[in-house]
């Protein structure tokens, strides 16, 4: 049975097989990587040797879960047909690559509605999700990541994410329960979902459950926020040092409804910051 594990986004420089050792060095119990440059370019080939080495390293260091983030340029609602269609193709490719590696889940952002009306943009997102998931038989779970609400970024509100999931499942019943959610604490807080106190956390999780469903929540990106509630700014801060604060993270870690949800840090990489942030999360779990 899975239990709550804490990890961080770690480097896979030189090959994904190097990530487990990098994760262990900072005290990770799980980890998050990218299998290709997040800025663009061709994906490095995952040879049989690389896949075997990655799995062996995960086993060696005791990792039972691992996560992958898609490239940052994904935009399912772009007016540029190449970008829009390419987004679906690349995310599907990343799902297949992640499945080869035995990765638990892959998360992606959805893009921006700047090129169209919100209704048209949302329709394009649904079309893109249907395309990328059609016929997918891999083992890696597909996750939509909650956005921070800056500008015209898509997927910042629980109701909007629920709309995508419901529409996809309605149009293709084979995709029922195939889409999960990655809840980024900084993004959700920036979008107006309070996480400062145990009461606020309980209320926000209840809202999430009513709209999306906590059964869809697969992963939490644990990031404090440099800006206050509803600031619509995606600026991560170290755990307990931002506007969410330690009490909010303690409430998340100790919430029984999240006991099987992993936490991944995307906090600033400064010296031994990962070790300190992970140690703090682990201390909350013990209380």
Q: One of 94, 184, 237, 274 is an active-site residue; which one?
A: 184
221 domain-assigned: yes
Residue whose token pair is 């994760």 = 23
Element at 217 (helix H, strand E): strand 217-222
Q: Is residue 131 part of a domain?
A: yes
User: Is residue 236 annotated as part of the catalytic site, yes or no?
Assistant: yes
Q: What is the DSSP string of 181-209?
A: EEEEHHHHHHTT---SSHHHHHHHHHHHH
Quick one: pLDDT at residue 40? Answer: 80
CATH of the domain at 12: 3.20.20.150
**Mean confidence (pLDDT) of the chain:** 96
Phi (first) and psi of residue 112, to 5 degrees: -130, 150
- Sign for the CA dihedral angle at 273, 13, 183, 148 comes to positive
Residues 87-129: tens digit of each pLDDT: 999 999 999 999 999 999 999 999 999 999 999 999 999 999 9
> Comparing C-alpha atoms, which of 167, 71, 176, 99 is closest to residue 127?
167
Which one of 72, 134, 159, 228 is the catalytic residue? 72
Q: Show the domain range for 56.
A: 6-285
Residue 41 lies in a domain: yes
- The yes-or-no answer on residue 184 being catalytic is yes
The predicted model gives 44-73 an average pLDDT of 97
Query: What confidence tens digit (pLDDT) does each residue in 194-230 have?
Result: 999 999 999 999 999 999 999 999 999 999 999 999 9
Which burial class, exposed, middle or buried, applies to 207 when counting CB atoms under 10 A from its CB (0-12, 13-18, 19+)?
Answer: middle
| Residues 242 and 190: beta-carbon distance below 8 Å | no
Whether pTM > 0.85 for this model: the answer is yes
Catalytic residue check, 234: yes
Q: Give a yes or no: residue 111 inside a domain.
A: yes
Active site residue 97: no
pLDDT of 84 higher than 60: yes
Q: Is residue 1 part of a domain?
A: no
Q: Tens digit of pLDDT for each residue in 233-277?
A: 999 999 999 999 999 999 999 999 999 999 999 999 999 999 999
Annotated active-site residue in 109, 216, 238, 250:
109
Collapsing DSSP to helix, strand or coil, 36 comes out as coil
Q: Which of 92, 236, 238, 250 is catalytic?
A: 236
| 57 in catalytic set | no
Residue 15 domain-assigned (yes or no): yes
pLDDT of residue 287: 59
From the list 145, 237, 262, 274, the catalytic residue is 145
Identify whether 124 is part of a domain.
yes
Asked if pLDDT for residue 142 goes beyond 70, the answer is: yes
- Is 49 in the active site? no
Q: How many domains does the chain have?
A: 1
- Which band of pLDDT confidence, cut at 50, 70 and 90, is reported for residue 37? confident
Under the banding of pLDDT at 50, 70 and 90, the label for residue 2 is low
**Catalytic status, residue 69:** yes
DSSP at 142 = E
């Amino acid at each position: 049975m899975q239990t709550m594990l804490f990890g961080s986004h770690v480097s896979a420089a030189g090959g994904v097989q190097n990530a487990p050792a990098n994760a262990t060095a900072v005290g990770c119990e799980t980890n998050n990587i990218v299998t290709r440059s997040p800025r663009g370019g061709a994906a490095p080939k995952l040879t049989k040797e690389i896949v075997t080495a990655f799995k062996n390293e995960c086993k060696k260091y005791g990792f039972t879960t691992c996560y992958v983030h898609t490239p940052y340029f994904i935009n399912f609602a772009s007016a540029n047909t190449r970008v829009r269609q390419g987004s679906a193709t690349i995310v599907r490719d990343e799902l297949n690559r992640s499945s080869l590696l035995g990765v638990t889940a892959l998360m992606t952002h959805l893009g921006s509605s700047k090129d169209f009306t919100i209704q048209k943009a949302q329709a394009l997102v649904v079309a893109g999700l249907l395309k990328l998931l059609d016929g997918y038989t891999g083992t890696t779970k597909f996750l939509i990541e909650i956005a921070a609400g800056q500008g015209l970024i898509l997927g910042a509100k629980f109701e909007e994410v629920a709309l995508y999931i419901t529409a996809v499942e309605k149009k293709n019943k084979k995709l029922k329960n195939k889409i999960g959610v990655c809840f980024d604490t900084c993004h959700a807080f920036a979008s107006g979902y309070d996480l400062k106190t145990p009461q606020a956390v309980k209320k926000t999780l209840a809202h999430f459950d009513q709209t999306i469903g906590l059964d869809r929540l697969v992963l939490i990106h644990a990031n404090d926020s440099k800006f206050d509630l509803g600031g619509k700014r995606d600026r991560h801060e170290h755990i307990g040092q931002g506007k969410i604060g330690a009490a909010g993270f303690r409430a998340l870690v100790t919430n029984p409804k999240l006991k099987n949800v992993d936490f991944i840090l995307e906090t600033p990489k400064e010296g031994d910051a990962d070790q300190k942030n992970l140690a703090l999360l682990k201390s909350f779990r013990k209380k």
